[in-house]
Chains A and B, each alone.
Chain A
Amino acid sequence: NAGVTQTPKFQVLKTGQSMTLQCAQDMNHEYMSWYRQDPGMGLRLIHYSVGAGITDQGEVPNGYNVSRSTTEDFPLRLLSAAPSQTSVYFCASHSTYEQYFGPGTRLTVT
């Protein structure tokens, strides 16, 4: 049982490039989320999903896309990276009793 895994751990992009952050969980959780964490801002929800085929926007969805074709995977796509997207990104999956976070991806956009 690996919990929540995220790849890559670090990434540097140039403005305008696109990429996908991968997230997977092996706990059969229906609920998964993507957050970004910035100094002084706490954790902010980007997108979330309550089950396969269902996604919804969080607090800061602009510039990001998600899909949930399976229960296990919840990738986050940056369509055209901008310096404002420099952040640490956490994926999480959620059961009835607690929320599990992935190890995070530190993204720098130059």
Chain B
Amino acid sequence: EDKVVQSPLSLVVHEGDTVTLNCSYEVTNFRSLLWYKQEKKAPTFLFMLTSSGIEKKSGRLSSILDKKELFSILNITATQTGDSAIYLCAVEPTNRDDKIIFGKGTRLHILP
């Protein structure tokens, strides 16, 4: 059965810390892996990863994919209270008739 597993489920750190969020997957016919940030509203898109070993970066956020070991990490450096959110990982299959599979998310809370 296809699945996406995120860890940890929740994380509390102090402002300025660096955090690493994990996403592992078991999906047949992998196409891409997606990261989202969800605050109080709808999830907002962060990254799409399709190739192994190529880091995607946006400000203090970065992500990388390992297609051999079937996981991705999302790094946030110098965390700020505004980074507090649920971070969702999702995997998209090659066949567009198949559904996107979401993990349950990591709830990140940044203490001031």
Residues on A lying within 8 angstroms of B by beta carbon are: 31, 33, 35, 40-45, 48, 50, 56, 58-59, 90, 94, 97-104
Contacts and interface: CB of A to CB of B under 8 A. Distances in A.
B104 A101 contact: no
A43 B45 contact: no
Contacts of B102: 35, 42-45
B48 A97 contact: yes
Nearest to A6: B42
B34 interface: yes
Contacts of B43: 43, 90, 101
Interface residue tally of chain B, by bracket? 10 to 19
A99 B34 contact: yes
Nearest to A31: B96
A50 B97 contact: yes
B104 A33 contact: no
Contacts of A97: 48
Q: Which 9 pairs from chain A and chain B are nearest by CB? A: A42-B104, A101-B42, A43-B102, A98-B45, A45-B99, A101-B43, A42-B102, A104-B42, A42-B105
Q: Among A40, A98, A102, find the residue whose CB has the most chain B CB atoms closer than 10 A.
A: A98
B76 interface: no
Given A97-B48, A98-B45, A104-B42, A43 B97 contact: no
A94 B93 CA distance: 13
Interface string B80-112: 000000001010000011011011110000000
Contact of A33 (B34, B88, B100, B105): B100
